Structure formats: structure tokens, C-alpha cells
Structure 1
Amino acid sequence: MIAGRLRLRDDSGGELDLAPGDAYQVPPGHDAWVIGDEPFVALEFDSKTAETYATG
């Protein structure tokens, strides 16, 4: 992550907050949303995910 904060919730109800400097791998079965007003900026290394993330 480069900027902003992101909260993840998995299907079991577990939550994780991500902040600048964090690295992460998120498996299927989750929801995510930006926390606060700062835009979420991250680098995506999975080309399939990068093509389809947040489109739809």
C-alpha cells in the first residue's frame, strides 16, 4: 500500500485494516472499503486482478 487505509472483511467476519507500507494477499471471499477521505493507492501484482478490480 502506498496511501490511504483499507478495511477488509472475510466471509467468516474477520476484519483487517491496511495502511501505507503494508503488503497483503487477499483470498477470495471478502469485501473491502476505503476508510476515511484519503484515496486508497496500492500496487497490484496479479495482472488478472488488476484488469478487473472494482469494475462492475
Structure 2
Amino acid sequence: MPYSNELKTKYIAQLNPKEKCALKIAREHLGSSFSLVKSIGFQNWIKKNSQ
């Protein structure tokens, strides 16, 4: 299921500073193989907010 950029932005905005740092590191280390929508945190957030 494709997610809108707005939804991705909302997810990133609600992250705490430690989570944002982890996201930055994941993007740097994994490069193009990193997928925000496939991350566990994003998937859990989607499930939690779709109820």
C-alpha cells in the first residue's frame, strides 16, 4: 500500500529526538535500501493510528 508524503511527514514529526537520530543513522548506513514505510516503527504507528 503506498503511503502519502504527508503521512510520512506526520510520522517523522511525532518522533522524539532519539528516534529521529536513529532514523538519520539508518538512512545514512542503509542508503537506498532503507524504506521508511517498511520500518517497524512506521508499521506500528500506522496500525496504532488507523484504529
The normalised TM-score by structure 1 is: 0.26
Instruction: Give the structure with the higher percent helix.
Output: 2
Instruction: Give the structure with the higher percent strand.
Output: 1
